[in-house]
């Protein structure tokens, strides 16, 4: 995580330290994993990326809980219908997974496609949001999330 933070924000821009109080992000993530799947919607975000990446990440935040979209449809939605591959790359570069719900983007044939946390976690997140059924084993394991 520290490597990614340095890459996105600069060598000395972020300093991790023990917090005296739980942050809004921490509370929202806890609520999300406890079943309030709308808990992340109001969290402010600030991610360092190209203008195109930030456009894609903003569009990801507008995908409603319980819905998915294909890379091609997301490209159309942002006004760049020929940029499907670039949308996929921007999606994969998302530094704030779950809060910026890149897991809601699927293949044109409704298949689960790449996810930095692994397809099993993507499947779990979509099942948690009641989009994609989790396998019995994944439901029992909870995937350690």
Contact call for residues 103 and 123 (beta carbons, < 8 A) = no
Q: Give residue 11's pLDDT.
A: 84
- Per CATH, which fold does 24-144 belong to? Arc Repressor Mutant, subunit A (1.10.10)
Our measurement of the distance from residue 79's CA atom to the centroid of its chain's CA atoms, rounded to an integer in Å, reads 21
Average pLDDT (30-51) is: 93
pLDDT digits 0-9 by tens, 61-91: 999 999 999 999 999 999 999 999 999 999 9
Q: What confidence tier does 1 reach under pLDDT thresholds 50, 70, 90? A: confident
Annotation marks residue 102 as catalytic: yes
Query: What are the residue ranges spanned by the domains of the chain?
Result: 24-144
pTM score, whole prediction: 0.79
Q: What confidence tier does 48 reach under pLDDT thresholds 50, 70, 90? A: confident
Q: Give residue 51's pLDDT.
A: 96
pLDDT digits 0-9 by tens, 92-141: 999 899 999 999 999 999 899 888 889 999 999 999 998 755 554 344 34
Q: What confidence tier does 47 reach under pLDDT thresholds 50, 70, 90? A: confident
Q: Give residue 134's pLDDT.
A: 52
**Coil, strand or helix at 52:** helix
Active-site residue, selected from the candidate residues 74, 102, 106, 134: 102
Query: In sequence order, what are the residues at sequence separation of 6 or more whose Cβ sits closer than 8 angstroms to the Cβ of residue 52?
Result: 80, 83, 86, 90
Q: Give residue 117's pLDDT.
A: 86
Averaged pLDDT of the chain? 87
CA torsion, points 137, 41, 64, 106, in degrees to nearest 10? -50
């Amino acid at each position: 995580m520290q490597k990614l933070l340095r890459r996105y924000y600069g060598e000395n821009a972020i300093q991790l330290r023990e917090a005296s109080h739980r942050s809004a992000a921490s509370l929202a993530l806890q609520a999300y994993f406890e079943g309030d799947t709308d808990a992340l919607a109001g969290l402010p975000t600030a991610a360092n990326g190209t203008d195109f990446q930030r456009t894609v990440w903003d569009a990801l935040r507008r995908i409603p809980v319980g819905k998915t979209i294909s890379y091609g449809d997301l490209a159309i939605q942002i006004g760049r219908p020929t940029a499907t591959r670039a949308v996929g790359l921007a999606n994969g570069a998302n530094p704030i997974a779950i809060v910026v719900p890149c897991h809601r983007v699927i293949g044109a044939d409704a298949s689960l496609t790449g996810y930095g946390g692994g397809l099993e976690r993507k499947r779990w997140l979509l099942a948690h949001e009641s989009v994609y059924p989790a396998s019995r084993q994944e439901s029992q394991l909870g995937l350690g999330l």
